Amino acid sequence: MLDTYKPTFNIHEAVRKTLPYMMEMREYFHAHPELSEKEFDTCKTIFQELSLMGIEDVKIIAGTGVTGLIRGSLPGPIVLLRADIDALPLSEKYNCPYSSLVDGVMHACGHDGHAANLLGVAKILHQHRDCLRGTIRLAFQPAEEGNGGAARMIDAGILNDPRVEYALGLHVAGGLPKGCIGLRRGEISASCDDFTITLHGQGGHGSQPSVCVSPIQMGVDIVQSIENYVYNRRADGDGVVLTFGQFQAGHSPNVIPDTAELKGTLRTYTEAKRKDILAKLDRILQSVTEIYGGTYDLHIVPFSPVCINDETITARVEAILKEQCADRIDVISMQRGSGSEDFAYFSAAVPSTFYYVGICGDTPVLGHSPDFHWDSNALKYMCETMLKIVYYFKSYA
């Protein structure tokens, strides 16, 4: 039941005063992007900023991640707030005063804004911890675009001491207008498994295929077989996606090569289908290569499980945003996406909510693109929504 608690300060006014700081930090991170697991300057900068604020327990974690703790003066839950911090291997095309200064690297997914927002949120929470109910664990996460940054933070103990009860994360959304929040209960993003198949045959002259074992022909049969299985037996209208994005073999039109390499990705919304399809992929590889007389190696890199928004917690977040931010925010029900998000590791460990914050103006903004650009002013929507959720979280329990 909703209680009568209200913060002792005006959240909207605090965000307005902190916005220039967040914009400055976002634009610094944008001009100095760093790839996954190489976020050395970003890590150092976040560490310094949190330390200057006086945040407790500031430390480097999981390689290039940073954490800190904000203890409220009032009793309440322990909530983790997460922001990813890495950039992408793209060359920025958009020209602005804070365009990337690093050749071939840019923030094309909004992680610069996520990091800047959480710094602003931390600053306000620390300044007003007298009316904060509970404890906030900050998680500036590395390698969201790379190899398991969230899982490594969990392995390093970020959910312990004190034990985190809930987790909250957000992401910019180039398809949503500024002032809109995208929210969904249940599955919010798909699992992701990238895989590499190396096929070993027996090469020879292109005029004598009968005395060779063609890895190219094996690859063609494998692609057809697994896609037939997925889309005729396991998709069932449930959004399963299996895509081959790379097939490399040979160097000459009249030479059958010894090897071929296929790379692909699998996206699902249930763990059962994920396991079934990966098992069938291995079975198909065994069958096809045995028929042809070849062999194979299969290497699977699990990026993330399905990201699931807890029904109860997400209902609470939705109520807070609709009632406490109604004059500035529109909450929109989202469809689940086939993209993946490694916040899923947090959502698998504790009840969580992950939501999207609109950043587009007149036209949609395409992420993971050299043209990706958005107005830093949109940070105010990230900051205010996250603060409202944190300060009113206990009230809506």
Task: Give me the pLDDT at residue 333, please.
Answer: 95
- Taking only the tens place, the pLDDT of each residue in 101-141 is 999 999 999 999 999 999 999 999 999 999 999 999 999 99
The CATH number of the domain covering residues in 192-304:
3.30.70.360
The reply to whether 251 sits in an annotated binding site is: no
The reply to whether 107 sits in an annotated binding site is: no
Q: Which two tokens stand for residue 13?
A: 């006014």
E strand or H helix that includes residue 319: helix 311-324
Rounded distance between C-alpha atoms, residue 132 and residue 155, angstroms: 28
Which of the four CATH numbers 3.30.2020.10, 3.90.470.20, 3.30.450.30, 3.40.630.10 does domain 11-189+306-392 have?
3.40.630.10
Query: How many other CB atoms are found less than 10 A from the CB of residue 271?
Result: 12
The reply to whether 368 sits in an annotated binding site is: yes
Determine the 3-state secondary structure of 207 from DSSP: coil
Task: Give me the pLDDT at residue 164, please.
Answer: 98
Domain with CATH 3.30.70.360 in the chain: 192-304
Q: At what angle do helices 379-392 and 311-324 cross, to 10 degrees?
A: 110
- Taking only the tens place, the pLDDT of each residue in 167-216 is 999 999 999 999 999 999 999 999 999 999 999 999 999 999 999 999 99
Task: Give me the pLDDT at residue 237, please.
Answer: 67
Domain with CATH 3.40.630.10 in the chain: 11-189+306-392
Sites in the chain below the pLDDT cut of 50:
none
The reply to whether 145 sits in an annotated binding site is: yes
The reply to whether 299 sits in an annotated binding site is: no
Contact residues for 9 (Cβ-Cβ < 8 A; gap 6+) = 128, 131
pTM of this prediction?
0.93
Task: Give me the pLDDT at residue 233, please.
Answer: 77
